[in-house]
Structure formats: structure tokens, C-alpha cells
Amino acid sequence: MKPNSLSPASLGANLRTSLHISVTAALFGAASPVAADTIDWKTVGGWDISFYPASEGCQAFALFEEDTAFFIGFDNTGGELSLDITLLDERWRSIEDGTEYSITARFGNESPWTLAMDGIRVDNFPGLNMLIDANSDQADLFIDEFQRKSAMTWSFDGSTLGSYTLRGSRKAFNEVVACQKSYLEALNGSSDPFSSSDPFKKKKH
């Protein structure tokens, strides 16, 4: 189903359901990853924060103009915490799954980033994904600029992929961190973080 035939809420739900299952398969070669429902944490402005069991990570999701989906948050696969960044857009049909692309990202008037991102396909939606060590200076700076600036521009080979608002990004990522900390604390304190003491249970509606 094409993104522009869905409401933003429907598109978001569709993409969120399958995003990390497909990314995990692409990155780790899983032949038949097990599907797991996402757990809603909080909505902040135009950002939806959710927990993704497949990657053991919390992410913020926004659907921008022309149906570009943007995700930023954490991937804790294998117990190694990474900053996870994904963009999906139906128009980018020539993207090849598994191919590396040199992408430029710029936050406000800061110096541009040159990012090596992998081509992915999520339910036939083409996109770009990358993981950065969450404990690195690079991840700290990326998050800092994402939270401080009011807009970001992404481009490839001199062509602009899109310019997107970052309104509410500071509060949104703060909630991503709170969500991830809650999960890790539950994981360390119980053999089953989704038992009756599960901190996520109260967030479900």
C-alpha cells in the first residue's frame, strides 16, 4: 500500500510494526526474524516514542512532508547500545538494499555530516539506515545538534532529499532516553522485564 494512501497515523503504525524486524534481518542475516509488537511510550508534539522488542530499543518517529518517515533512537541488539537512525521514503525507489550510500546531513547552520548509510527495504518502502556506537563522541554530537537545532536537511550526491522541522526534538529525544533507561533498569532487575512489574505496561493504552 502506498504511503500517500494512508493517514499519517496509519503509515506510522505500519512502518513501526516492521521497521526493526527488517533492519535486524538486513544487519545480522536473520532468515526469519520473529515479529514483535511495538510498545507505545509517549507522544511529544509530532513525535511518537515507542519501544521495539526486536531491537530492544526505544525510538522517536516523525512523519514529515511528502511522507518521509524518520526514526532516531537506540538499538540494543546483543547488549551493544547503538544510536539508530533511519529514513524511509517511497520516492527513493532506486535505493538498493544492502548498498552503502554517502549521505549528507546538516542541522541548522552547523557543519554538515557525511554519513555512510545502508540502503534498506521495509515492506517495500526504500530507505536508509545507520548505527553509531551510542557511547561515542560522534553519537553525543549528533544527538546534541538534533536536539538544539530547529531544522535539518538531508542530501545525496548534491540533490536534496528533504528539509525537515525539528520542532519538539529536544523533548522527544529526552523521552527516548527515559524509555531506554526504564527498559534497561527493568532488564537488570528482573529475568522478565515484561512481567507484572513491567514499567511499559502502564504506558499502553
- Report if residue 54 sits inside a domain: yes
Segment 3-17 shows an average pLDDT of 44
Domain span including residue 135: 3-171
Q: What pTM was estimated for this model as a whole?
A: 0.77
Mean pLDDT of the chain: 81
Does the pLDDT value for residue 103 go beyond 90?
Answer: yes
Total of domains in the chain: 1
What local confidence, expressed as pLDDT, does residue 13 receive?
53
pLDDT-derived band at 201 (thresholds 50, 70, 90) equals low
- Report if residue 88 sits inside a domain: yes
- Report if residue 184 sits inside a domain: no
- Report if residue 196 sits inside a domain: no
Looking at residue 79, which CATH number applies to its domain?
A: 2.60.40.1880
- Report if residue 13 sits inside a domain: yes
Strand order in the sheet with 57-63: 39-44, 47-52, 57-63, 69-75, 82-88, 125-133, 113-122, 100-107, 151-156, 159-165
What local confidence, expressed as pLDDT, does residue 122 receive?
86
- Report if residue 190 sits inside a domain: no
pLDDT-derived band at 79 (thresholds 50, 70, 90) equals confident
